[in-house]
Structure 1
Amino acid sequence: MSKRNTQEAKRAARERLKQEREQQAKREKLRRQLVVALSAVGVLAIAAAIGLAVANAGGGGDETDWEAVSAQLEEDGDDADYPVPAHASGEGGLTVLIGDENAENTFTLYEDPRCPSCAGFEQNVGPAVHEGIDNGEFNVEFVFGTFLDNGPNGGTGSKNAVSALGAALDVSPEAFLGFKDALYSEDFHPGGGRDDFGDDDRILEIASTVDELDGNQQFEDAVRDSTFAAWALKMSEKFDADPDVSGTPSVKLNGEMLDTPQDAAGFRALFEANRK
């Protein structure tokens, strides 16, 4: 049995999570105090002082202690209780269904935020997916995996991005779609195995390009406070539990696995050939 699975490790992990949240609260308090104290100083001086103070307080990177969150979920088992984003549904709040819930056809898309092929799919096929949702031709369920965090390059970017997607969904379905598109966009998707999404500051920078999330304190607090970290891990478990899915991106239509289209025309042809 690994150390992580021992009761002592779980207690230690929970303590680290508590300390992490206390440290984050101190950093935010320090940030506010510095803004007030330096309000008479030039803008550049304020920015430099705040940046230095927060850096010295341990900021930057992914603020989530994923080991602690995982240990708590494991200990709670079927009784696990965790924050679920608004606009999520289903068992455990793990159904992210976008579009008319009464649409006759449902696509299910399986993706990992760090996956380069998923980025290509979203850039090439995404507009056709949006069009079909807007026209009421189908709705789309999104299921996110985080297996690339366990790859050779390691990191936490997939988990952190899924948690942030939960924060965006908590704002609105439109904010969720906009943020998802931004994550997978040519401008922001890291590719090459890099772990850019494992940095909360980078996540917020990307989110600032989405109208509903730009300057949205609710969203920023959820990212900084790891509000939907447990939800992200449970979402990853849902992805892993599907026996039909062996990689990303994967596509189902009305529960049937289909070959993944490479462009909008292929997506439309796929839909027309398999729709109800």
Structure 2
Amino acid sequence: MSNRNNPQNKAAARERLRAERERQAKRDKTRRKVLVGVGIVAVLAAAGGIGVAVTNATDGGKNTKVSSEDWISAAKKSDFKAPANTTGDKGTSIVVGKQDAKNTLEVFEDMRCPICSGFEQSVGEVVAKDIKDGTYKAQFRMGAFLDRNPMIKGSGSKNALSALGAALNVSPEAFLEYKKALFAQKNHPQEQDDAFSDDSRLIEIAQEVPALKGKASFEKDVKDGTFDKWALGVSDSFDTFVGPDKEIKGTPGLKLNGKVLGDERGQAPQAAEMFKTLVEQNLKK
């Protein structure tokens, strides 16, 4: 039996998890105080019928370069192309890591989601290291439900997802680094700010990723919307996994080997230590 599985270490892990849950509860209480209205505003996404938790709700978005309707219309008229390094039906499966890894972590995100941004900032480095070490491979399920929120609207989620496809077409590593850059505190817009609908902003942020900096083919794919129709397919696939009647209610969401990874309410941990503890408890040995 490995040392990490002995009774003393298991007890210590449970104590760390208990302490982290108490800290998480305090953070949740503070966060609730700054939410608009009472608690979290539950929004039924108009097109997909998905129940999502939305904060900072306003009476309309800002900085939208292309409306959601126009973006979708143009995408549907374009030729379909899936990025390299994808699998599954029409390339809508994004799996990064060692393919023979025993464990699979599913990550559910929307690129406009502020809580996803916080998750990336606090836990993203741990996820990236675990992927590299072969602890698990990660399957990223990306949605665009915030573009459908009638209180903010826009096309930033879909546009950023298409740009992520352009990064994935370069390499899985470029995909991870670009997603990290988009979610970085200095780059991620407020939820009601549709900044990611602007191709030039997406390309500007990509200059922080060595594999994408000055890369003409990547920039052309972003500007041309090469992977726009693919992004719609990925978002449609996401909609089948997330919703009020699903195990994953909103973003960020996590599953490890098919089991929801989160606190008592199913919410993804926002602290690295709690994430590590939950992973350790649910890994296939």
TM-score range, shorter chain: 0.7 to 0.9
- Tell me, yes or no, if the aligned pair for 1:62 and 1:200 is still in contact at 8 Å: no
Hey, what's the Cα distance between the residues in 2 that align with 1:257 and 1:143?
Answer: 14
Q: If each structure's helix is expressed as a fraction of its own residues, which one has the higher value?
A: 1
Aligned to 2:117, which of 116, 119, 123? 119
Deviations 1:12-61 (A, max 9, x none): xxxxxxxxxxxxxxxxxxxxxxxxxxxxxxxxxxxxxxxxxxxxxxxx94
Aligned to 2:101, which of 90, 103, 106? 103
Hey, what's the Cα distance between the residues in 1 that align with 2:236 and 2:191?
Answer: 25
Counting only pairs closer than 5 Å after superposition, residues 83-232 of structure 1 correspond to structure 2 as 83-151=81-149, 152-232=151-231
Q: Does 1:269 align with 2:277?
A: yes
Q: TM-score, normalised by structure 1?
A: 0.73
Task: Report SS of the residue matched to 1:108.
Answer: strand
Structure 1 unaligned spans of 5+: 1-59, 74-80
Hey, what's the Cα distance between the residues in 1 that align with 2:87 and 2:180?
Answer: 21
- Tell me, yes or no, if the aligned pair for 2:112 and 2:191 is still in contact at 8 Å: no
Hey, what's the Cα distance between the residues in 2 that align with 1:134 and 1:198?
Answer: 31
Hey, what's the Cα distance between the residues in 2 that align with 1:125 and 1:68?
Answer: 36
Hey, what's the Cα distance between the residues in 2 that align with 1:227 and 1:201?
Answer: 15
- Tell me, yes or no, if the aligned pair for 1:117 and 1:248 is still in contact at 8 Å: yes
Q: Does 1:255 align with 2:258?
A: yes
Deviations 1:50-78 (A, max 9, x none): xxxxxxxxxx94599423246559xxxxx
Hey, what's the Cα distance between the residues in 2 that align with 1:126 and 1:83?
Answer: 28
- Tell me, yes or no, if the aligned pair for 2:67 and 2:155 is still in contact at 8 Å: no
> Which protein, 1 or 2, shows the higher relative CO under an 8 Å CA cutoff with sep ≥ 6?
2
How many corresponding residue pairs? 210
Q: CA RMSD in A?
A: 1.8
CA 1:158–1:229: 2 relative to 1, 3 Å: same
Hey, what's the Cα distance between the residues in 1 that align with 2:76 and 2:273?
Answer: 45
Hey, what's the Cα distance between the residues in 2 that align with 1:201 and 1:69?
Answer: 18
Amino acid at match of 1:213: L
Hey, what's the Cα distance between the residues in 1 that align with 2:231 and 2:191?
Answer: 23
Hey, what's the Cα distance between the residues in 2 that align with 1:63 and 1:156?
Answer: 6
Counting only pairs closer than 5 Å after superposition, residues 42-121 of structure 1 correspond to structure 2 as 61-62=65-66, 65-69=70-74, 71-72=76-77, 82-121=80-119
Task: Report SS of the residue matched to 1:143.
Answer: strand
Hey, what's the Cα distance between the residues in 2 that align with 1:229 and 1:141?
Answer: 20
- Tell me, yes or no, if the aligned pair for 2:82 and 2:91 is still in contact at 8 Å: yes
Task: Report SS of the residue matched to 2:233.
Answer: helix
Q: Give the C-alpha shift of residue 148 in structure 1.
A: 0.5
Hey, what's the Cα distance between the residues in 1 that align with 2:77 and 2:247?
Answer: 29
Question: Percent same amino acid at aligned positions?
Answer: 45
Q: TM-score, normalised by structure 2?
A: 0.70
Amino acid at match of 1:163: S
Structure 2 unaligned spans of 5+: 1-63, 263-267
Hey, what's the Cα distance between the residues in 2 that align with 1:149 and 1:229?
Answer: 14
